[in-house]
Amino acid sequence: MYTSQVLIGGAGPFLGPTLAAVTMGIVGVTLFDRQFGKNQSFNSAGNVVCALLIAGISHLFGNRAIFITAAVLTIPTILAIVTIKSKDIDYDLARGGCIQVGDMEIPSRASVMDTLLGDRVLLVFLLCAFFFHFANAAMLPQLGEMLSHGARTTAAPFMSACIIVTQVVIMCFAPAIGRFANLHGRKPLLMLGFGVLPIRAVLYTLTHNTESLIAIQLLDGVANAIFGVVSILVVADRTRATGRFNLVQGSLATAVGLGAALSTSFGGKLIQRYSYRISFLSLGAIAALAFVLLWFAIPETLPEYGAPSNDPSSPTLIVGESSMGTIKSKQALQPPSPDAAGVISWVHLGDLHMTKAGEQNHLDLAQIVDEVNSAFAGSLSFVFLPGDVADDGSRAAYSVVRGELDRLKVS
């Protein structure tokens, strides 16, 4: 038993950071937000299916069959991993590094001390993560004990119901969280996720109705869905072009694990000495502290919309204007006045790497075309595509690009 727990504890911390790094290496910085949200959704869906499957098998064949089922479920996991080809992963991107962008060379590896201790925002965020899990981790076990009223036979069904509610919420909302964070920033979501935690703690003290208490677990799903997705996005933002993405992921996992370990001990002592009510309210106070710290000390970490991207995997858009042969500006989507005499306006679309119609790079190009048409209002002189237009050079990929270019309003 102890050996198995050591193996689980040793393997667990590597899983999350490794999957995040592989995702970053495959899809790049620009699409990481959305893809990581999808990852979390599938992760929770797997947890729900696995929980229901194990519950059914244990009911039919006994508890010993649970361990056999867990072993069998590793087979499709290994098959899925084998299908990921090493050549599909950009290992520089996977560790948060970058390559030369334009005329500027971005350093691909910063020192450990500068990354961990030189970034005040990152340090404060790790502290917020510690307080979040210090407040959160003990709530679910305490709720299970309170619902079961000390009866061991009823504790498991109550805990299962609470866990499934949380995982279903994460499964449904994680992809939307990734998209929202990409469009509107990280901090609004973090404020919501941290904010529902003290509310949840207070609500647990106001009712003893089983259905109501399980329903309150919806807030746990909201908080964990947001933290599970957005915390990694914040780490990616703060470690971009440093090569230390995985190092800081490990630091985040340490802060989370330390907070969770201390939470259960802290909450249990309060229950023994006082009551469930005092324990929930104390955990809620810690959650409120984390919320205030996040509010005042953590800025928005999403790079400003339209700022140059360091991601070599994503399409780039450069807008410029020239007058009498002299370049006047080269910046992100700020077109000249349509009636400016003697001004030539152009759009540079680079690194499209088009694959198939309907895939993400096609959707990105379609969005760029819509923005150009809206901003230039027909005053665009020409479009420049330097290369890397079609990923495999196929006629179908070029047809997708041509279809979007035909929608551009060129004067």
Q: Which amino acid is at 322?
A: S
Query: Residue 182 half-sphere exposure, CB side, CA atoms within 13 Å?
Result: 15
What is the chain's pLDDT, residue by residue, as a tens digit (411 residues)? Answer: 778 777 777 777 788 889 999 999 888 887 888 899 999 999 999 988 888 888 788 878 887 888 888 889 889 989 999 999 888 888 888 888 754 444 443 445 667 777 778 889 999 999 999 999 999 999 988 887 887 765 555 666 777 778 888 899 999 999 999 989 988 899 999 999 999 999 999 999 998 888 888 889 899 999 999 999 999 999 999 888 788 899 999 999 999 999 999 999 999 999 999 999 999 999 999 999 999 999 999 999 987 644 444 444 444 444 444 333 333 333 444 444 444 445 677 788 777 888 777 677 777 887 788 777 777 766 777 787 877 777 777 777 777 788 778 777 776
How far apart, in whole angstroms, are the C-alpha atoms of residue 123 and residue 62?
A: 47
User: What is residue 318's three-state secondary structure?
Assistant: strand
- Select from 132, 152, 136 the least CA-distant residue to 144: 152
Using a 10 angstrom Cβ sphere, with 0-12 exposed, 13-18 middle and 19 or more buried, the burial of residue 405 is middle
Q: Where are the domains of the chain?
A: 2-297, 316-405
**Distance between CA atoms of residues 385 and 243, nearest Å:** 30
| Structure tokens given for 153 | 């036979």
Is-contact 146 201, C-beta < 8 A? no
What is the value of pTM for the model shown? 0.71
CATH class of 2-297: mainly alpha
Q: Closest by alpha carbon to 144, among 49, 283, 276? A: 276
Residues 101, 257: Cα–Cα separation, whole Å: 37
| Nearest C-alpha neighbor of 321 from the set 367, 381, 405 | 381
The three-state DSSP-derived secondary structure of 253-280 is: HHHHHHHHHHHHHHHHHHHHHCCHHHHH
Q: Are 337 and 375 in contact (CB under 8 A)?
A: no
The partner residues of 347 in beta bridges, in order of sequence, read 319, 383
